[in-house]
Amino acid sequence: MKRALIIVDVQNDFCEGGSLAVDGGASVASRLTDYVAEHAGDYGAIVTTQDWHIDPGAHFSEQPDFVDTWPAHCVAGTAGAAFHPDLDVSGVDAMFRKGQYAAAYSGFEGHLAQAGDAEGTSDDSPGLDEWLSRHGITDVDVAGIATDYCVKATALDSARVGYRTTVLRDLCAGIADDLEPTFRDLESAGVRLA
């Protein structure tokens, strides 16, 4: 068994003060930093995902419905797309960016970020599943923002492609007041909650 930690979208725009802020986002950033400091040795890899929007089409709206359309957020190269300053990414093994030209909720839609590439990724850079497979990962822990959107989508895809998947509930922040439906959906798909 070789385990990876996937830290999902702990970015400024998803934390307090951001354009699409989730209550508790900054606290998640701090708690994840502490968690990684204590548990880095438990993981064969630690990776992050980032929304990295260039022109995501109808994903952005001036009259968002907050289901399929959203206010502009995490625009590539902006301060809003950067990791929250309370999240220490110095020990991260790989960063995956998603959503350049379309909505993307799951980290498994992302590609390895490439230094020097204006878009932040390259068409031939590996996707998250390919990268995890190459590194012999069998088990995945998922944490980050938002529990009921990108964390959920990432965990569901992780389980679907065959990783033993756990969502670390205390290291996530959600949008909905009631996250029980999200947790039921995850458990129904074989995702463990811890």
Beta strand ranges found along the chain (DSSP E): 3-8, 45-51, 94-98, 111-112, 139-145, 164-173, 192-193
Catalytic residue among 98, 129, 152, 157: 98
| Beta carbons within 10 angstroms of residue 78's beta carbon | 16
| Beta carbons within 10 angstroms of residue 64's beta carbon | 15
Q: Is 9 a catalytic residue?
A: yes
Q: Is 74 a catalytic residue?
A: no
Residue 79, class by beta-carbon neighbours within 10 Å (0-12 exposed, 13-18 middle, 19+ buried)?
exposed
Query: What angle in degrees, to the nearest 10, is found between the helix axes of 180-188 and 152-160?
Result: 10
Catalytic residue among 9, 13, 141, 148: 9
Tokens of residue 77, six digits? 């190269």
The dihedral through the CA atoms of 77, 126, 101, 64 has a sign that is negative
Catalytic residue among 15, 74, 150, 172: 150
Catalytic site positions:
9, 98, 150
